[in-house]
Chain A
């Protein structure tokens, strides 16, 4: 038989705490580097496979489907359609937040609303909790709000959020 402990019983036991001191230096690779540099210029780049026609955003140097190299760089618009949006009242450690953070997925243009797979981006959406809750923001057309050029670093954070237009 197993033995569940109550919260208060935990304090009666010796607890060993351990904080991993793990730090990483990631590589962005060929495709993502170009993508990040594009963001610095206020552009969203994708990679196109001319065999199946798929446009990868974020870009990839190979096509998943055809298993061959993708062929060319394409620029997609910094505009798209909100596929979904949510309002988070908890932080990444599950601490309670006063003001919700609003994020979602944007299907970038050009693309078609019948596409199952499309050029897409996960980011913040500048809208109200009310519009998330009543779902009116879903399906709306949005455009990237870029940071001032001199503040951009070649990061996903170069876009502040997507705003309804």
Chain B
């Protein structure tokens, strides 16, 4: 058993599940989307990205790319939320909610790709 693989697999899956948890619910109802879950998804996704730093394999490069995409989308979602809640005069309206949730949906897709890659890598290991 490779502990590095365990840790990485854990973070990738955690990022996906947290992201899913945040995404699920009505797209325009902010009550269905927990801010702590978005925060957790972002942090876990960032850690998963850093874990892939310095991996020179081709698959490692793709992992890094998908992780960076997920980070970017979650970061956008968080920024929109922060802007809507604190800076914008309109406050956290339907429009902002939809934007936040759809960005997290994009990140979810990237995370799914990550997990699919992880599964593919696991399947091809012959040890």
* Binding partners A and B: no
Mark B residues whose CB is within 8 Å of A. none
Mark A residues whose CB is within 8 Å of B. none
